[in-house]
Amino acid sequence: MLDELAFIVSAVREINVTGCINPFGEEIVRISLNDDSTPPAFTRTDLILDGDHIRCSVLNGGIYYMNFAAASNAEIVVQDIQRNDGSMDAQKAAEYVVERMLNILEWTRH
Q: Domain coordinates of the chain in residue numbers?
A: 2-90+97-109
User: With bands split at pLDDT 50, 70 and 90, how would you rate the model's confidence at 85?
Assistant: low
Q: Which DSSP letter does residue 13 get? A: G
pLDDT in tens, 9-44: 999 988 889 999 999 888 899 999 998 887 788 999
How far is Cα 43 from Cα 71, in angstroms, rounded to an integer?
32
Contact 49, 27 (CB under 8 A): yes
- State yes or no: cis peptide before 40, omega within 30 of 0: no
Handedness of CA 87, 108, 41, 22 (dihedral sign): negative
* pLDDT tier, 87 (very low <50, low <70, confident <90, very high otherwise): confident
Closest CA to 94 of 47, 60, 24: 47
Instruction: Please report, rounded to a whole number, the percentage of residues in the chain having pLDDT higher than 90.
Output: 21
Which one is predicted more confidently, 2 or 44? 44
Whole-number average pLDDT of the chain: 83
54 vs 86, more confident: 54
Q: What is the rounded average pLDDT of the residues 62-88?
A: 72
Does 74 have pLDDT greater than 70?
no
Strand order in the sheet with 76-80: 17-24, 28-35, 41-50, 53-58, 62-70, 76-80
CA gyration radius, the chain: 14
